[in-house]
Amino acid sequence: MIAALFLLAAGPAESLDCADAMTQYAMNMCARRDYEAADAEMNAQWKITTAGMKQRDHGLQPDDKRPKHFDTLLAGQRAWLTFRDQHCLLAGFAMRGGSAEPMVHSGCMETLTRARTAQLKSLVETDY
């Protein structure tokens, strides 16, 4: 939330060269772009993984009353999102109130989101 406020107040950044970000504003915006790209990749993988889990659910015995693949995945994803958001908010506290706080926050969000994308991908690549 804080990171978003810093970025919104700064204005548009379409012309930033993230390969040569020299100002804190540019570094903040580039870190935000990297997170947004990671989030888009995770959302695309989410669709693939949920489809795979729903397919596995079709193979379950009708009298199996235990939680199903998709329901378990959804609950886990909701918990993970809460963890990621709170963890990265905490990580940003290292620069709390400073101009680099949004960069640290976005960097954390990107790192954890990319790791989660890999986890989601591995779920559909694993036969069990």
C-alpha–C-alpha distance, residues 91 and 101, integer Å: 9
Q: Are 47 and 119 within 8 A, CB to CB?
A: no
Q: E strand or H helix at 120, and its extent?
A: helix 101-125
Residue 15 lies in a domain: no
Q: Please say if the pLDDT value at position 7 is more than 50.
A: no
Predicted confidence at residue 126, as pLDDT, reads: 81
Tokens encoding 11: 């204005």
pLDDT band at 89 (very low <50, low <70, confident <90, very high): very high
What is the value of pTM for the model shown? 0.83
Q: Please say if the pLDDT value at position 33 is more than 90.
A: yes
Residue 4 lies in a domain: no
Predicted confidence at residue 108, as pLDDT, reads: 98
What is the mean predicted confidence (pLDDT) over 86-104?
96
Predicted confidence at residue 84, as pLDDT, reads: 98
Predicted confidence at residue 9, as pLDDT, reads: 47
Looking up residue 84, the CATH number of its domain turns out to be: 1.20.1270.180
3-state SS record for 10-75? HCCCCCCCHHHCCCHHHHHHHHHHHHHHHHHHHHHHHHHHHHHHHHHHHCCCCCCCCCCHHHHHHH
Range of the domain at 50: 23-59+67-125
Predicted confidence at residue 15, as pLDDT, reads: 77
Specify the number of domains making up the chain: 1
Residue 1 lies in a domain: no
pLDDT band at 1 (very low <50, low <70, confident <90, very high): low
What is the mean predicted confidence (pLDDT) over 51-78?
92
Predicted confidence at residue 128, as pLDDT, reads: 64
**23 Cβ contact list (under 8 Å, min separation 6):** none
Tokens encoding 65: 């009353």
